[in-house]
Structure 1
Amino acid sequence: MSNTATASTLDELFGVPRLPCEVRAWEFNAQPQSLQLLDEALGQTLNEWKRISANALLLNASKCAHFIWCIDEQGATWIAYEEIARPQDGDAAGFKQAPLFKEGLPRFRDIPVHPALNRKLGHPTLISGQKARIAGELYLDPQYGGNIEWVANARSGRYCNPQPSNNNCINARNHLRSLIDQNLIWDFWI
């Protein structure tokens, strides 16, 4: 978003900023290692990944990749690979200590505990539990006429409850299209 966008303009485009309905105790000091500001340069990188993901060798790996994104109170768009946290030794289920981080979901190769004990880093970790206007997921999907396409939604259980308006979703879609790919598909789930 432009640095000149006013709060009222942002409210109209993406909804009023809201705090997450929940931030888990272990998430307060957690931040995805892949966290990035989504700008046009990163959008070009994501589009290049889409291009090379059409290769049969990389297609299945790309289908497993899942990003989370949000637009913060100031209108900045943040994105990260959906990463997981795992408990430290002696804290198998409760996360009473700060969790250890393992990049990537669903790759569990060297995690010694059952995957059900792991926790995904949710949308609040993108912006330290602060207010967001809209948030969701971004992933590649090959089910659109045989082409692999970027698909986005506003499925953040913590920021998008109640659901954003259709207009806010359309504006978020157009914003993500301007940064990533004009062919990006929005998954309306209403």
Structure 2
Amino acid sequence: MSDDLDSRFGALRAPERVMSWERGRTPNSLCRLGTDVAESLTGLERCVQNILLRFAATTQNYLWAMNADGKILIAVEEIAEFDGIPNTRGYPRRRGHRHPSEDQKLGHPTLVQGGEVRIAGELALDEYGDGVRWVLNANSGRYCRQKPPRKEQVDAVVELFRESGLDVEVDYL
């Protein structure tokens, strides 16, 4: 089974680095992709087609990573804040602008306790045609920068999202 996962999604990759504030941390929103999560994300996509909610929805970034067993883990990209007690909140998408907490977000390694993944990227609601759609990429700076996944591996992940019930577009950049 491991050989099949290796060929379909990529061999396990260690993170290039894990930041000190990420060690031992797990996002509050961490969940595993399944039909229930896909149904919720599809519902969110439907309700934000209205212009009033669209702008709020497109400011949030979601991280995803496939673990060694082929399970996809998803979480809101959260801010790591410290005032004595660790606290996390949603981290807004930057879209070309630096956020004051840029250096204190919980990145992809926190989805898997700093361990290895097969492939990882981002999921976001993005402007698409005259509405918004879920758009997925495999651009994890910690896991995919040195050895980017092949198009076929990204497509295989997209297939898993779609099989779960979430229709996504792909950003191959």
Write the mapping of 1:4-153 to structure 2, written as runs, cut at 5 A.
Answer: 6-88=1-83, 100-106=86-92, 115-116=100-101, 119-142=104-127, 144-153=128-137
Equivalent residue for 1:154? Answer: 138
Q: Is the contact made by 2:79 and 2:101 (CA closer than 8 Å) also made in structure 1?
A: no
Q: TM-score, normalised by structure 2?
A: 0.90
Residue type matched to 2:77 in 1? E
Q: Name the CA shift for 1:64/1:156 in 2 (closer, same or farther; >3 Å).
A: same
More off after superposition, 22-31 vs 66-75: 22-31
Equivalent residue for 1:93? Answer: none
Partner of 2:43, secondary structure, is helix
In 2, Cα distance between equivalents of 1:120 and 1:186: 24
1:173 lines up with 2:168 in the alignment = no
- Which consecutive segments of 4 or more residues in structure 1 shift more than 6 A? none
The offset of 1:100, in angstroms, is: 2.2
Residue type matched to 2:129 in 1? G
The offset of 1:117, in angstroms, is: 6.5
Q: TM-score, normalised by structure 1?
A: 0.82
Q: Is the contact made by 2:67 and 2:117 (CA closer than 8 Å) also made in structure 1?
A: yes
The offset of 1:180, in angstroms, is: 4.0
In 1, Cα distance between equivalents of 2:143 and 2:130: 33
In 2, Cα distance between equivalents of 1:139 and 1:10: 25
RMSD: 1.8
In 2, Cα distance between equivalents of 1:173 and 1:117: 28
Task: Report % sequence identity.
Answer: 37
**Where does the alignment leave 5 or more consecutive residues of structure 2 unmatched?**
94-98
Summarize deviations over 1:29-76 as a string: whole Å, max 9, x none.
111000001111110110000000112221111011110000000111
Summarize deviations over 1:76-100 as a string: whole Å, max 9, x none.
11000000012336xxxxxxxxx72
Q: Is the contact made by 1:46 and 1:180 (CA closer than 8 Å) also made in structure 2?
A: no
Q: Is the contact made by 1:87 and 1:118 (CA closer than 8 Å) also made in structure 2?
A: no
Partner of 2:58, secondary structure, is helix
In 2, Cα distance between equivalents of 1:49 and 1:103: 19
Q: Tell me the number of residue pairs that the alignment of Structure 1 and Structure 2 aligns.
A: 167
**Where does the alignment leave 5 or more consecutive residues of structure 1 unmatched?**
1-5, 90-98, 108-113
